[in-house]
Amino acid sequence: MGSAHDQMRAMLDQLMGTGRNGQTSRYQVQYNDPKVCKSFLLYCCPRDILASTRLDIGECKKIHDNALRADFEKAQQKFDHYYDVDATEHLQAFISDSDRKTEVARKRLSETQEKLTAEVAEKENAVYELAEKLGQTLAKAEEFGAQGMVDDSLKLMGEIEDLLKKKSEAIDIYRNSMSVSSYQQQHLRVCDVCTAYLSSQDNNRRLADHFGGKLHLGFMKIREKLSELEKNYEERHEARRKFYEQERYKRDDKRSHRSRIGDRNERNRRSRSRSRHSRHRSRSRSRSRTHKHDRRDRDRRRY
Ligand SMILES: [Zn+2]
Ligand SMILES: [Zn+2]
> How many whole angstroms from 210 Cα to the centroid of ligand 2?
6
Say whether pLDDT at 222 is over 90. Answer: yes
Q: Are 134 and 164 within 8 A, CB to CB?
A: yes
> How many whole angstroms from 240 Cα to the centroid of ligand 2?
35
Per-residue model confidence as pLDDT tens digits over 108-143? 999 988 888 899 999 999 999 999 999 999 989 988
Confidence of residue 264 (pLDDT cuts 50, 70, 90): low
For residues 7, 12, 15, 20, the Cα torsion angle rounded to the nearest 10 degrees is -150
Ligand index nearest the alpha carbon of residue 196: 2
Q: At what angle do helices 214-231 and 83-112 cross, to 10 degrees?
A: 130
Closest CA to 71 of 8, 18, 10: 18
Which pLDDT score is estimated for 263? 64
Per-residue model confidence as pLDDT tens digits over 58-109? 789 999 999 999 999 999 999 999 999 999 999 999 999 999 999 999 999 9
Ligand index nearest the alpha carbon of residue 98: 2
Ligand index nearest the alpha carbon of residue 57: 1
Confidence of residue 296 (pLDDT cuts 50, 70, 90): very low
Which pLDDT score is estimated for 294? 41
Residue type, 103: E
Which pLDDT score is estimated for 266? 62
87 vs 249, residue with greater confidence: 87
Say whether pLDDT at 303 is over 50. Answer: no
189 vs 278, residue with greater confidence: 189
CA distance 37 to 30: 11
- The region of weakest confidence among 7-11, 150-154, 299-303 is 299-303
> How many whole angstroms from 118 Cα to the centroid of ligand 2?
22
Q: What percent of the chain has pLDDT over 70?
A: 81
Ligand index nearest the alpha carbon of residue 220: 2
Q: What percent of the chain has pLDDT over 90?
A: 53
Sign, Cα dihedral of 259, 260, 263, 268: negative
Sign, Cα dihedral of 88, 94, 97, 103: negative
Query: pTM above the 0.85 mark?
Result: no
> How many whole angstroms from 207 Cα to the centroid of ligand 2?
9
> How many whole angstroms from 212 Cα to the centroid of ligand 1?
24
CA 258 to each of CA 253, 262, 268, 271: distance values in angstroms, whole numbers, following the listed order: 8, 6, 15, 20
> Which residues fall inside 5 Å of ion ligand 1, going by CB?
37, 40, 45, 47, 60
CA distance 76 to 70: 10
Which pLDDT score is estimated for 205? 82
Ligand index nearest the alpha carbon of residue 55: 2
